Amino acid sequence: MKLTKPNLQHKLPPTEDSHGPLDSNSTTSHQSRVDFSRHQVFSQLDQLTSSETINKRIGIAVSGGSDSLGLLCLSAEWAKLNNWHLQALTIDHGMRPEAAQEAVYVQSICETLNIPHTTMNWRCPQDQRATQENARMARHLLFCEWAKRQNIQFLMLGHTLDDRLETLLIRESSNSSEYGLAAMPSQSCSPIWPEGRDLKLLRPANNLTRQDLSAILIETDISWVCDPSNQDDKYERVRIRKKLEAMPQQVKQKSIEKLKKLTLKRQKLVTDLTYFLKNHVVWRADGSVELRLSDLFKHPLDIQNKALERILICVSGSKQNVGLSRVISLLNALNVNTKSGKITHCLGKCWLIKTEDTLQIYAMPTKRATTKNSPQTTRSVIKSSQKICYMGRFDIRLSPQMPDSLVLSWDEAKALGYAAHLLSENKRARRSMPVLIPLNTQDTDKECLPAEAYTLQSLHSVRNNHLSDEIFL
């Protein structure tokens, strides 16, 4: 493990960043940077947590690098000042031999600051590649598990303005949309569904630079870890980071101004998208959706694309969005005037039924099994009084005194010969809805549990609200 704490003159060269020129040769300049950083983080946290007055518990993910450690020091001050209970989490991915030692170092810093600390380990499954993206998603899943266990709804991440600029340049090179270029809002939802439905990710340092956070550590005499992979040119982000570091300040400032404009555009798009999905889309209790195409096509293309993309992921319960190019192709097909009564499209594990000006969207049923005991990834067991999530689309709670039951789709139950009650008047909708079969029944008993034996809540509108929870400060 390599620790770094350069002297002030080396770490803070004369720069002119997003909050004005700083003369690092004077103590006053260093103190100005520290004061500015403290004000920025405190102000963002005050705004982002203002709605919570009861469960004042907040977490922070700390790797040991300068960004997360600098934010740890500032958030520890803020939490103490505002009577919040702060806890820290470190994820050891096992991808580098130094990772375990770095986690121990973070724990020692947390002990000094009197902050409870947890280390969670992740090891890449043998059937997966040990890529940074797999590690990222695994990290977020562990965030969700830990936050639920600790009753935490806010988790801070140490992303900075430098991270946002790097993402801007990376995504520009891959022709990302303007929405994608303005990444890393001050508050966003967890990318994990449904495990992360109650977790909000906060980035209170996303308008600060790495130098700002390093200044906090220099002031408090805390060293930080240098991850050798941050110098490895095989990673695109590392190459972009070095490009930014060598970039003249005037050129870099243009990128900062561009990012600000893109952020404003994204904020407006999110506001307009949220309004459309709330006021022009019918979210039915059976998990389906209905809207008028004329309402959709009145809006700009960006809204059309994001609206259909959002509806598809919410109705299907999928982990990821379908590709933008496929959404655009589907919108073009839907925009063609036809005289026929019904036209059916399939995309993102959904049926899309167009009837004149009406578009109805349903989740497609899962592949049918041949027997009750056939292995199915869509099947799960629910116990009395238990609540489970089915396919990311429905919450099911089994009533007390009801027997342990197998959960499977209505379509599959019918294929196996079970008498499944009508969960919806719409045949397409009910085919992918869950039904319950008591585990202790004989194969000759083909009765599903009655609808009164459990409660069923569709999650498509819940997930839509979850994905709309985005704030830029």
Convert the pLDDT of each residue in 250-306 to its tens digit: 999 999 999 999 999 999 999 999 999 999 999 999 999 999 999 999 999 999 999
Residues of the chain with pLDDT > 70, as a percent, come to 90
| Residue 25 or residue 473, greater confidence | 473
Residues 55-106 pLDDT 10s: 999 999 999 999 999 999 999 999 999 999 999 999 998 777 888 999 999 9
* pLDDT higher than threshold 80 for residue 131: no
Distance CA 78, CA 41 (A): 8
This prediction's pTM: 0.90
**pLDDT class of 378 with cuts at 50, 70, 90:** low
* pLDDT higher than threshold 90 for residue 108: yes
348 is in an annotated binding site: no
Q: What is the mean pLDDT of the chain?
A: 89
Dihedrals φ, ψ of 345, to 5°?
-120, 155
Q: Is the Cβ–Cβ distance between 416 and 372 less than 8 Å?
A: yes
- Calculate mean pLDDT across residues 137-149: 96
Distance CA 29, CA 363 (A): 58
Closest C-alpha to 409, from 358, 356, 448, 464: 448
pLDDT score recorded for residue 422:
82
pLDDT score recorded for residue 128:
76
pLDDT score recorded for residue 443:
65
pLDDT score recorded for residue 11:
36
| Residue 464 or residue 231, greater confidence | 464
64 is in an annotated binding site: yes
Residues 405-436 pLDDT 10s: 999 999 888 888 888 888 888 999 999 999 99
66 is in an annotated binding site: yes
Q: CA 344: distance to chain centroid? A: 31
**pLDDT class of 377 with cuts at 50, 70, 90:** low
| Residue 224 or residue 229, greater confidence | 224
67 is in an annotated binding site: yes
- Calculate mean pLDDT across residues 375-382: 72
- Calculate mean pLDDT across residues 17-40: 66
* pLDDT higher than threshold 60 for residue 26: no
What residues does 361 pair with on adjacent strands? 289, 352
Q: Which of these CATH numbers, 3.30.70.860, 3.40.50.620, 3.30.420.40, 3.10.620.30, describes 28-247?
A: 3.40.50.620
Lowest mean pLDDT among 13-17, 50-54, 309-313, 462-466: 13-17
Residues 335-347 pLDDT 10s: 987 666 789 999 9
pLDDT score recorded for residue 455:
95
Angle (deg, nearest 10), helices 27-48 and 66-82: 60
* pLDDT higher than threshold 50 for residue 471: yes
* pLDDT higher than threshold 50 for residue 13: no
65 is in an annotated binding site: yes
* pLDDT higher than threshold 80 for residue 18: no
pLDDT score recorded for residue 14:
36
357 is in an annotated binding site: no
Distance CA 75, CA 284 (A): 42
Token pair for 10 = 């080396």
- The CATH code for residues 269-364 is 3.30.465.60
Domain ranges of the chain: 28-247, 269-364, 380-461
* pLDDT higher than threshold 80 for residue 111: yes
| Residue 28 or residue 208, greater confidence | 208
**pLDDT class of 136 with cuts at 50, 70, 90:** confident
Residues 166-220 pLDDT 10s: 999 999 988 888 999 999 999 999 999 999 999 999 999 999 999 999 999 999 9
* Burial readout 428-458 (b: 16 or more C-beta within 10 A, e: otherwise): bbbbbbbbbbeeebeeeeeebbeeeebebeb
